[in-house]
Amino acid sequence: MIGVVDTSALIRLFVPDGPLPDDFKGFLRGVERGLNTAIAPELLLAEAANVINKKQISGELSESESDQLFSDILSLPIRLFPHRPILLRAFELARVHKLTVYDTLYLALAEEHGAVIFTGDRKLVTIAARLRLQ
């Protein structure tokens, strides 16, 4: 199985600030065993760094915790894809579904690869279901 991992799902693996997407842990166990493939747009790393930075600024994470968390994220076996090839589709999805282009990059990547999407964002879950990416 190929799964697109979004930032909300990824961060919740390390900082439990909400529920994990259904079967996300099972999917990741499959990634570890080479049965599944995790993919994401390159944006994932910038968004993750931003969330971690905000959590450090707010005092939720110490500097050493945030450094370790970001290091752990960088070491995960997630295949990253550039934005340019999927940007037009993401732009179209954003307009149609009233989402940010940032969010629809994940949807466009899932469509392109016939993948499911793992997200903690309720609105994105709804649109992904409409697009049969769940």
The CATH number linked to 116 is 3.40.50.1010
Question: For 71-95, what is each residue's pLDDT tens digit?
Answer: 999 999 999 999 999 999 999 999 9
* Host domain of residue 77: 2-130
Distance CA 94, CA 30 (A): 31
How many structural domains is the chain composed of? 1
Q: Taking a C-beta distance cutoff of 8 angstroms, is the pair 129, 118 a contact? A: no
Mean pLDDT lowest for which of 36-45, 61-70, 97-106, 119-128? 119-128
Which pLDDT band holds residue 18 (cuts at 50, 70, 90)?
A: confident
Average pLDDT taken over every residue of the chain: 94
Angle between helices 43-57 and 7-14 (to 10 degrees): 50
